[in-house]
Structure 1
């Protein structure tokens, strides 16, 4: 097998790397907002876990993903992980004294 990487493959990899950077940037922005939500929930005495809202977000994401040709269960799983992590972060903020 040849160790030479075809130029076309290298181009695809560069495109994926650029998209990965955008994904990470957007995740950072999302979790910055999660931090603000945690502060608001602490200030207002709101529950961290709001199950109805979490389900709405996952349903919406799955539908958006499916409309774009993605496996909706895959998208739902990604959002479950993000929401679970958001809850951990919000609990840390709400539980601060």
Structure 2
């Protein structure tokens, strides 16, 4: 391969990565719109911000999806744990804003 061909191929890969990154941001934004609705519902009915049983189910589900997709399940779990922590933080803020006395994570 010539230098030009290598650079063109690299550019093509990078354009794909940029498109995927944009899609990931939009998907995460949609996910957080949904979890905000969950947080509002939990605050309205004074439910705790965290749901450990649901979180365990989601982690197991995501690990299996990752394995099926040939993605490291440990990485997928770390990513989901990061997202879950952020969701719980948002739910706690929503509960505090709506006067909920519940503040467990």
Q: TM-score w.r.t. structure 1 length? A: 0.93
| Over 3 Å off, 4+ runs | none
Counterparts of 2:29 and 2:23 in 1: how far apart (Å)?
10
What is aligned with 2:95? 94
**Unpaired segments ≥5 residues, structure 1:** none
Query: Shift in Å at residue 89 of structure 1?
Result: 0.4
What is aligned with 1:36? 37
What is aligned with 2:16? 15
Counterparts of 2:95 and 2:58 in 1: how far apart (Å)?
21
Q: TM-score w.r.t. structure 2 length? A: 0.86
Q: Deviations over 1:25-63 (max 9, x none)?
A: 000000011111110001111111110101111111111
The 3-state SS of whatever aligns with 1:6 is helix
What is aligned with 1:67? 68
Q: Deviations over 1:70-91 (max 9, x none)?
A: 0000000000000000000010
How many pairs does the alignment contain?
95
Counterparts of 1:21 and 1:50 in 2: how far apart (Å)?
30
**Unpaired segments ≥5 residues, structure 2:** 100-105
What is aligned with 1:56? 57
Counterparts of 1:73 and 1:48 in 2: how far apart (Å)?
25
Instruction: Give the structure with higher Rg (CA).
Output: 2
